[in-house]
Amino acid sequence: MKFTATRGAFAAVALTLSAIAAQAQENPECIAPANPGGGWDFTCRQVGKSMQDLGLIDQTMQVVNLAGGGGGVAFAEVVNKRNDDDNLIVAASSATATRLAQGAFPGNTMDQVRWLASIGADYGVIAVAADSEIETLPQLLDQIKNDPTSVSIAGGSAVGGWDHLKVLIAADAYGVEDVRQVKYIAFDGGGEAVTQLLAGSVQGFTGDLSEAKGFVESGDVRVIAVLAPERLTGDFADFPTAREQGVDAIGANWRGFYAPAGMSDEAYDAWVSKIGDLYASDEWKAVMEANGLAPLDLQGAEFEQFVSDSVAQIQTISKEIGIIK
């Protein structure tokens, strides 16, 4: 009798754990920490659609745009109000690591959430409006050298964020003596930044390839530099790298997800597994190729270590160019 009762207890526990794991996909939600149209928004919506198409989730992923503070508003929301939500994942990137590295999320650190997995890396771009007189990256940087106040660069991250750092890294590599003079204007998402470029409010855009892709295809934007070691392939083969123009600047924006720190281990493992299955699929490989995403396949503890290393690296860069002390 005692053995039977114990076996029944184990069975009940197993059923409970199974229910918890399944619950992680009952009402799936993804927070994009920016307005629609940017890289975080793309990450949530494309991953949600692909997961549903592959049968990895049974319901449509609800996408909530929660802009502000370069991702800080969303981070605080998760830490303070949704710490034990098994259904929630949040889009993250190098921009997230940058803000954490610079202490820009007041009172928040990377260990206050759980890091799930990566889905690829998105190379940075510097672009101008299609009708701009600027045709190359050196031309843009020469204008900045000669008169920093004459050129405004828009990006979808906060001042000191990853979009800002990308143009500063390029300026530093080109020999701009004081990169802090580069005039950068922050917007809540890459889509909004490109809109300001098209409106003529700014002269350049710094962001990621996935953010600029639609505007390039429509003929509104011209990419003057990709911050990749060598030219990309496929639809992006015509875009010159900064390096081939004599500017040794590389900026890869990893993309992935974090989850609330209080998420159950069962739900966490389920999300990690599903994102891993998504990444391994032919369907996701096609999405990566269509959007210029480079390979980056990390899950669970390996991804968490990668984010930790990224935060440390960005702290070093930020100190070198005077963003933080």
> Which ranges constitute the DSSP H helices of 115-155?
137-146
Residue 214 sits in the same domain as residue 184: yes
In a domain, 90, yes or no: yes
Residue 72 sits in the same domain as residue 133: no
What pLDDT was estimated at residue 284? 98
Domain boundary among 236, 252, 268: 252
Residue 117 sits in the same domain as residue 137: no
Residue 142 sits in the same domain as residue 237: yes
What pLDDT was estimated at residue 115? 98
Domain boundary among 232, 252, 272: 252
Residue 50 sits in the same domain as residue 118: yes
In a domain, 44, yes or no: yes
In a domain, 292, yes or no: yes
What pLDDT was estimated at residue 9? 44
Which residues, listed in sequence order, are joined to residue 118 by a DSSP beta bridge?
Answer: 256
What CATH number is attached to the domain comprising 182? 3.40.190.10
What pLDDT was estimated at residue 222? 97
Domain boundary among 219, 252, 285: 252
What pLDDT was estimated at residue 159? 86
In a domain, 7, yes or no: no
- Residue 269: give the domain boundaries: 26-122+253-320
What pLDDT was estimated at residue 25? 62
Residue 115 sits in the same domain as residue 131: no
Residue 111 sits in the same domain as residue 260: yes
Residue 154 sits in the same domain as residue 295: no
Q: How far apart are CA 63 and CA 114, in angstroms?
A: 19
Length of the chain: 325
In a domain, 165, yes or no: yes
What CATH number is attached to the domain comprising 288? 3.40.190.150
In a domain, 15, yes or no: no
Looking at the 3D structure of the chain, how many domains does it have? 2
Q: Is 84 helix (H, G, I), strand (E, B) or coil?
A: coil
Listed residue (285, 298, 312, 189) closest to 254, CA to CA: 298
In a domain, 197, yes or no: yes
Q: How far apart are CA 137 and CA 144, in angstroms?
A: 11
Residue 292 sits in the same domain as residue 180: no
Residue 97 sits in the same domain as residue 53: yes
Residue 45 sits in the same domain as residue 89: yes
Q: How far apart are CA 47 and CA 270, in angstroms?
A: 15
Sign of the Cα torsion 43, 112, 164, 306 reads negative
What pLDDT was estimated at residue 255? 96
Residue 132 sits in the same domain as residue 244: yes
Angle of helix 209-217 relative to helix 190-198, nearest 10 degrees?
Answer: 40
17-29 burial string, b = 16+ CB within 10 Å, else e? Answer: eeeebeebbeebb
Q: Which residues of the chain have pLDDT under 50?
A: 1-24
In a domain, 14, yes or no: no
